[in-house]
A and B are shown apart, each in its own frame.
Chain A
Amino acid sequence: MVFPFSGLSDYEIKFKPEHEIFRKFVREFMEKEVEPRVGEIEENDQVPPDLLKRMGDLGFQGIAVPAEYGGQGGDQVSVAIFSEEAGRIYPAIMTLVGVNGLFTTPVLLYGTEDQKKKYLPPVARGEKHSAHATTESVAGSDVAGIQTKAEKRGDKWIINGRKAFISGGDIADYFVVLARTSPAPSRKERWKGLTFFIVEKGTMGFSVAKKMKKSGLKGSPIVELQLDDVEVPDGNRLGPEGEGFKVAMETFDHGRIGVAAQALGIAQAAFEKSLNYALQRNTFERPLIQYQMIDGYLSDMLMKLISARQLVYWAANLADQGRKEYLVAASLAKAYATEAAEWAALKSISVHGGVGVVTESHIERMLRDVEITKVYEGSNEIQRLVIVRQLLKQTLGYDSPGM
């Protein structure tokens, strides 16, 4: 027994030949078609529509959506591979795909057949864009604390509220929106009484209120959404009434590995660039790589990078095996990889010296891009809670409701 898992084989990481082939092609797309346009995207804070379309055509928006719903039918390892390769060149690309995942996941898990058939194929094929609207300015980690309300009138729901920090909300055609449909039965049971709805762009009363400027992850805009008496039919309710919290948690669970892999990609890039620079750059007539402090940084970067890599793909393997333990692994991976990437990005600035903060070097950008990865998709503080709680649940059967 290798606690908290039962044996050594629980730690196995396996890949198939198609994974390596997929990685190669994603890398080719990122290096040939995205990298040359990074400057342009940073400048405009927008990924050009033709690039978005290309991503859709290549099937990137539906990697884990089953083929019967227009997706690629890929596994979590494939999602991780895409996310890592995107993170390595330009993390926002991963987020643009990840947000569609935050829509397709709840629809796949809790949607009716009609909802799946209507909404999944266009999103998986990149023909339509989608977004996930749970967060509000008053409630991020505290999902149960959201104040958007939905009231039933006949067979329709009227939704009122304001959502914030919604990635991809600027271009999305479809949204999943979380609203409170009934009051919490008690303080301990605040998580009860929430419901998801599918809301389409253009619905009266539903608008993008404001685009928020941020320091990093340019090309992946975040917006505020305003809902004023937005009317949706009951057919757009996603999942059982009052159980939206569970839907939200499962959705975020599924997205965790992708974010961990995104950060892994950033760490990979930081390491590659630092190593390359240390080999090229001379100081006091010797290459940087001959200096012990630099070697120290590089070694530490590599330790963290490979550890993160193992965690990410281990979590993906467990998820693909359908094992519940993947939840612990995914949280470990997310918390660790994002922090490892931040450290690597920081140190790569040290290695590069002045060049590290020059915009054109794209070194400082890694740090700006990585910060949000520690915060979104379940902040690292929350991940640390999840790790212990899931661990207790898996190993001791200890159930802690709510979070």
Chain B
Amino acid sequence: MNIVVLVKHVHDENQLKVDRATGKISFEGVPGKISDFDRNAVEAALSLRGSVGGKVTTITVGTDEAVKALREVLAMGADKAVLIKDQAFENLDVRAMAEIISKTLAKLGPFDLLLCAEGSVDAYTSLLAPVLAEKLKVSLITYAESLQAKDGMVKAERALERRMEVVEAKMPAVVSVTGEINDPRIPTLLQIMGAMKKEIAFFTIQELGLDANRMLPNGYAILEYSGKSKERKKVVFEGAPAETVPKLIEAMAKEGLVS
């Protein structure tokens, strides 16, 4: 089975630089990481390869920094990695991103399954999977909590707000997975060192036959980032429960939260 996994190298949200007074965000010098749930998608791919055999290729769109994320995926066991290099990838809206990925997939050859996370931890739009599936005109299963593949069909469980569904679709299919689907494996040092020798293919947007200038936001523009959040009172009571509890109740009563 030919399995493709999409991953994204994102700014680590825990290390963003936020000016407390103005709420201004700086991304400069903020370390990156592979988006949290992407590793679940990789694990799902590796698991399937383990049971039905095949090849796992990972793709990412990003700057050179994204190589780090790819090496981690290779260390986990992916066979091959592809990086589409673009400096301004963060400004691309999801349709442009999907265009780039479709062109890449065309270059790589047919796939049976395309896996990705339910959303990336930076933007968490959850739009890439449906947009891609629609573009590629293949089956789509989103929010998969379990995944099986057999005889050209893929079967998954989806946990929706009020119900669980079991769904089935013909491959090729795009499947987005949740963090609940598995526990991503931790590679050993030996596997990590082995990953350094595995192949990473690099493409630019031009090499895919796309015009970078025409890929700019298509009616979608992020106007403002603000780190300001609702100012919390941060009143903390310390001491024995016999003392702190009445103080808390008093505070809550003042806010009209307890009678």
Q: Which of A14-59 contact B (CB under 8 A)?
A: 16-18, 20-22, 24-25, 28-29, 58-59
Q: Provide the bound-state CA to CA distance between A151 and B86, in Å.
A: 72
Q: A17-B71, A21-B75 are in contact. Are A59 and B193 (CB under 8 A)?
A: no
- Contact for B193 among A25, A28, A29, A73, CB less than 8 A: A73
B227, CB-defined interface residue at 8 Å: no
Q: Provide the bound-state CA to CA distance between A391 and B138, in Å.
A: 69
CB-based contact B186/A18 at 8 Å: no
SS of B interface (majority): helix
Number of A residues near B (Cβ < 8 Å) is 19
CB-based contact B189/A17 at 8 Å: no
Number of B residues near A (Cβ < 8 Å) is 15
A167, CB-defined interface residue at 8 Å: no
Which residue of chain B has its CB nearest to the CB of A64? Answer: B189
Q: A17-B68, A17-B71 are in contact. Are A25 and B192 (CB under 8 A)?
A: yes
B48 to chain A, nearest CB (A): 21
A78, CB-defined interface residue at 8 Å: yes
CB-based contact B186/A58 at 8 Å: yes
A320 to chain B, nearest CB (A): 14
CB-based contact B188/A24 at 8 Å: no
CB-based contact B68/A78 at 8 Å: no
CB-based contact A74/B186 at 8 Å: no
Q: Provide the bound-state CA to CA distance between A18 and B198, in Å.
A: 12
Q: Provide the bound-state CA to CA distance between A223 and B196, in Å.
A: 42
SS of A interface (majority): helix
CB-based contact B188/A18 at 8 Å: no
Q: Provide the bound-state CA to CA distance between A28 and B192, in Å.
A: 15
Which residue of chain B has its CB nearest to the CB of A82? Answer: B189
B43, CB-defined interface residue at 8 Å: no
B72, CB-defined interface residue at 8 Å: yes
Q: Provide the bound-state CA to CA distance between A342 and B5, in Å.
A: 46
A388, CB-defined interface residue at 8 Å: no
Q: A17-B196, A18-B193, A73-B193 are in contact. Are A25 and B187 (CB under 8 A)?
A: yes
CB-based contact B192/A22 at 8 Å: yes
- Contact for B196 among A18, A25, A59, A78, CB less than 8 A: A18
Q: Provide the bound-state CA to CA distance between A268 and B187, in Å.
A: 24
CB-based contact A72/B188 at 8 Å: yes
Q: Told that A22-B192, A25-B187 touch, could you supply 4 new A-B pairs with CB distance under 8 A? A: A22-B189, A25-B192, A73-B189, A78-B189
Which 3 pairs of residues, A with B, have the shortest CB-CB distance? A59-B188, A72-B189, A72-B190
Q: What are 13 A-B contacts defined by CB distance under 8 Å?
A: A16-B196, A21-B75, A25-B186, A25-B192, A58-B188, A59-B188, A59-B189, A59-B190, A63-B189, A72-B190, A73-B190, A74-B189, A282-B236
Measuring CB to CB, which residues of chain A are less than 8 angstroms from any residue of chain B? 16-18, 20-22, 24-25, 28-29, 58-59, 63, 67, 72-74, 78, 282
Measuring CB to CB, which residues of chain B are less than 8 angstroms from any residue of chain A? 68, 71-72, 75, 186-190, 192-193, 195-196, 234, 236
